[in-house]
Amino acid sequence: MRKIILILSVFMAGTIYAQTNTEELSATIIALEKAALEKWNQGDPSGYLDLSADDVTYFDPSLEQRMDGLENLRSYYEPAKGNISVDRYEMVNPNVTAVNEMAVLTFNLFSYIGNDVSKWNCTEVYRLECDGQWKIVHTHWSNIQPDTK
């Protein structure tokens, strides 16, 4: 009986630790994304560029195909510098799913500029690098389809 109680205690402690780690990881990933969004909303793409790995891949609705590599992303973002000004944003329903050294963040983004709102779906794949930093290795943006009802 003691053996069973000991095994259950160790299992429960491991489960609580894993849940805490998952919650901490989710908070970390979401904080990284929000910090990049804050900069982006002020016309500064450096937050996302600093977060992106050299081998990042990228999709958004204005591209006909996947973009590969940080240098290509840097060139793509160059025209955005100083030309974006978002009044406020909402990161809606963020969710982080993680395994080993990978984490996937999905969320909806509502960006408000005056009375207009831009609605997006976003998926970010993060990888834990050798130096202990989380980097984006894949980004996918798509427009949220309008309600047709």
How do residues 13-48 score in pLDDT, each as one tens digit? 443 334 347 889 999 999 999 999 999 999 999 999
- The chain-wide mean pLDDT, for the chain, equals 88
Q: Which residues contact 73 (CB under 8 A, 6 or more apart)?
A: 48, 49, 52, 56, 58, 67
pTM, full prediction: 0.82
User: What does the buried/exposed string (b/e) look like for 80-89 if buried means 16 or more CB atoms within 10 Å of the residue's CB?
Assistant: eeeebebeeb
How do residues 40-55 score in pLDDT, each as one tens digit? 999 999 999 999 999 9
Tell me the pLDDT of the chain (149 aa) as tens digits: 555 544 444 444 443 334 347 889 999 999 999 999 999 999 999 999 999 999 999 999 999 999 999 999 999 999 999 999 999 999 999 999 999 899 999 999 999 999 999 999 999 999 999 999 999 999 999 999 865 55
Residues 121 and 140: their CA atoms lie apart, in Å, by 8
SS3 content of the chain, % helix, strand, coil (to 5): 40, 40, 25
